[in-house]
Structure 1
Amino acid sequence: MKQVHPSCMPSILERWARSARVDVRQASRMKRLLAVTGLLLWMPLLALAADKPATIVPGALWHDRQGEVINAHGAGMLKAPDGRYYWFGEHKISGKGGNAAHVGVSVYQSSDLLHWNARGIALPVSKDPDSDIADGAIIERPKVLHNAATGKYVMWFHLERAGHGYKDARVGVAVADAPAGPYRYLRSFQPNGQQSRDMTLFQDDGGIAYLFYSSERNATMHVTRLTDDYLGTEQDYQRLFVDQWLEAPAIFKHAGRYYFMGSECTGWKPNTAHGAAATSPMGPWTEFGNPAQGDDAALTFHSQSAYVLPMPGQPGRFIYMGDRWNPENAIDGRYVWLPLQLEGDGFRVDWHASWSLDEAQKTHVPSR
């Protein structure tokens, strides 16, 4: 091997370093060129993807922006003053025991109802075994309203304490300063001393709010007004659909008319939906039969009602939001969202294997 004289070493090393720096700069420029070229090649495809409306596929796995499957069952939807939507739901775990609350109420945020950001657990189960919402309690159908007068966000849900089965039949109430929480649990009770299982909230014009709940061992639906701060109920209530055995209430309004959608009581198994309309939330309500139409309508497309949301920017159009329960593996319950259309004195829900909000906008809504 040829030997290098020590006096030549500094100059050789300097030349080598200069050459290495040039190679690094050239490689860096080449990487930038390739990146720009790749972006230019992909831009037409990205533009096509942006122009294509995102679709809703009822019953399919629905992933959030973080790539995880959305875990928010028995949905409650809130459109906050900031214009964004918040999806609250029961956080399930795998297995038969997954229907009990082992984590809490989850919350997701979206600006378009299609792409959802996970915001974590809005209301966690308590570490205190004596708490109403201790691990193993039943926390179902969380619904949240914003109280403009107090500035608070108030969550209500069906509550059964851990180890009590479905014997308690209570509502639970929690409050927060921001839509995604964290929510602070306040208390549980039976509204007006009456049993309350499946329930929902409805906020009317002027901020008046109502609680609808399945009572009298699920035989009869009740409705009562919330107090002005949304933290309790007024003393008067009305009995609706007496001895009809209905649960899973969802309430919405259009043009001064109120609409009810609920299901029969068959446990976790799907059944026939019931529709009704009224000129006041307190009733009287007039039933008009099953609003679901077409194949599998008798089983409400293998789903159960959770919420009905006005379609954004489309007055008079709505979205039916239901759950396809899986009691053998609770975490694998699926969401069934479908366009809901007013028709005559009632409304209808038709099956769509997939649909987009843009397509729903083209659907004709009969004039009243």
Structure 2
Amino acid sequence: MKTKLVMLFILIIAEPCFAQERNFRFNPGKVWLDDEHNVINAHGGGMLYHGSTYYWYGEYKQGKTVLPEWATWECYRTEVTGVSCYSSKDLLNWHFEGIVLGAEKTDSLHDLHTSKVVERPKVIYNSKTKKFVMWMHIDSADYSKASAGVAVSDTPTGPFTYLDSFRPNGEMSRDQTLFVDDDGKAYQICSSEDNATMYIHLLTDDYLKPTKTFTRNFEKKYREAPAVFKHHGKYYLLTSGCSGWDPNVADIAVADSMLGEWKSLGNPCIGEEADKTFYGQSTYVQPVIGRPDTYVAMFDRWKKTDLPDSRYIWLPLTFEGDKPKIIWHKDWGF
């Protein structure tokens, strides 16, 4: 009995040592653990703020990274697992909500089959239909399909029901993001024409399809990895160049409207390796709710030969006058 009491006392005293420590600062490029001490797995992701909670959606990469024998470029890949979702109240500490859109394991013709490509999932909420709408890049293993896929759910944590894939307005759609304006109108922004041109499509009122209204932007500039946000009435579009999994120089552009003329402001990154975007690639820019003029720029630091070990680089995006800047910090907080 004494031995049992001593062991119980030791466990009670030691229990806090096994609890997951809370995160108080961002550490770009370091391993990031969720509240259950597992590595966060949400690559090429996007963010949704709904009901006082942030939801982070991304590619759940698992298993061996391979380069297909037929590859003529470095199209390293893992088998499709699905889209993951994490929830947080503070952007620092995350809880894994699960795989909210899973892979198809038997039907090899299905868009979500493990042999296909599912990238850059983004989720927006439609206040009219009360549906959560996910768009993603759907592709064949050789990237020739170049389509957008759509799924819906009644809750932010899924499960999402996959609807279909298509080429918006008949044009290619690869790296992509979504943006909902203050008036409720939603837009899909994607790399098209073999990545040479970026398209912006106005979506239907239910956010499930593109309308016939769209613009062609940055013709023959070869930009990808779009991330859009709005600041003081102007629209900003952060992109990367096209260099496969390898880093390159970022660019940010500004416009007076989503379907207006975009003007490049150059590279917003400042600090060591700024010309390589700190070895990252843009994926989303999230306003910090309750903190005016405060934004978090989200990047992926891809590890092309071991994609599940790719890291996240989140940095503060600030403004100097009307020009945005992203300064490297090895660790930082609000």
Give the structure-2-normalised TM-score.
0.91
What's the C-alpha RMSD, in Å, of the aligned pairs?
2.2
d(CA) in 2 for partners of 1:349, 1:115: 22
Consecutive unaligned residues of structure 1, counting only runs of 5 or more, are 1-22, 358-368
Give the Å deviation of 1:31: 8.1
Amino acid at match of 1:66: E
Report percent identity of matched pairs: 44
Give the Å deviation of 1:95: 3.1
Superposition map of 1:235-250 within 5 A: 235-250=212-227
Partner of 1:363: none
d(CA) in 1 for partners of 2:63, 2:104: 20
Partner of 2:235: 258
Partner of 2:71: none
Give the Å deviation of 1:208: 0.8
2:103 is the alignment partner of 1:125: yes
d(CA) in 1 for partners of 2:305, 2:7: 51
2:127 is the alignment partner of 1:158: no
Inter-CA distance 159–32: structure 2 relative to 1 (3 Å threshold): closer
Consecutive unaligned residues of structure 2, counting only runs of 5 or more, are 67-75
Amino acid at match of 1:322: F
Inter-CA distance 34–189: structure 2 relative to 1 (3 Å threshold): closer
d(CA) in 2 for partners of 1:123, 1:33: 44
The aligned length equals 321
Partner of 1:65: 35
d(CA) in 1 for partners of 2:214, 2:11: 66
Q: Deviations over 1:173-223 (max 9, x none)?
A: 000111010001000000000011110000111211101001111011110
2:294 is the alignment partner of 1:317: yes
Amino acid at match of 2:108: P
Amino acid at match of 1:227: T
Give the Å deviation of 1:101: 4.2
Partner of 1:108: 86
d(CA) in 2 for partners of 1:250, 1:172: 18
Match of 1:300, SS state, is helix
Give the Å deviation of 1:33: 8.1
d(CA) in 2 for partners of 1:99, 1:55: 31
d(CA) in 1 for partners of 2:210, 2:28: 35
**Do the aligned residues in 2 keep the contact of 1:84 with 1:109 (CA within 8 Å)?**
yes
Task: Find 2:52's aligned residue among 80, 83, 89.
Answer: 83
Q: Deviations over 1:311-356 (max 9, x none)?
A: 2321111001000001100101000000000223320000000001
d(CA) in 2 for partners of 1:33, 1:336: 42
Amino acid at match of 2:25: T
Q: Deviations over 1:29-75 (max 9, x none)?
A: x8888889x59xx9xxx9xx88xx70110000001111110110001
Superposition map of 1:128-147 within 5 A: 128-147=107-126
Match of 2:129, SS state, is coil
**Do the aligned residues in 1 keep the contact of 2:295 with 2:317 (CA within 8 Å)?**
yes
Partner of 1:336: 313
Match of 2:308, SS state, is helix
**Do the aligned residues in 2 keep the contact of 1:100 with 1:137 (CA within 8 Å)?**
no
d(CA) in 2 for partners of 1:27, 1:333: 45
Partner of 2:70: none
Superposition map of 1:174-189 within 5 A: 174-189=151-166
Partner of 2:329: 352
Give the structure-1-normalised TM-score.
0.82
d(CA) in 2 for partners of 1:100, 1:204: 34
Superposition map of 1:257-276 within 5 A: 257-276=234-253
Match of 1:289, SS state, is coil
Q: Deviations over 1:217-248 (max 9, x none)?
A: 10111101110001000112101111111000
Match of 1:244, SS state, is coil
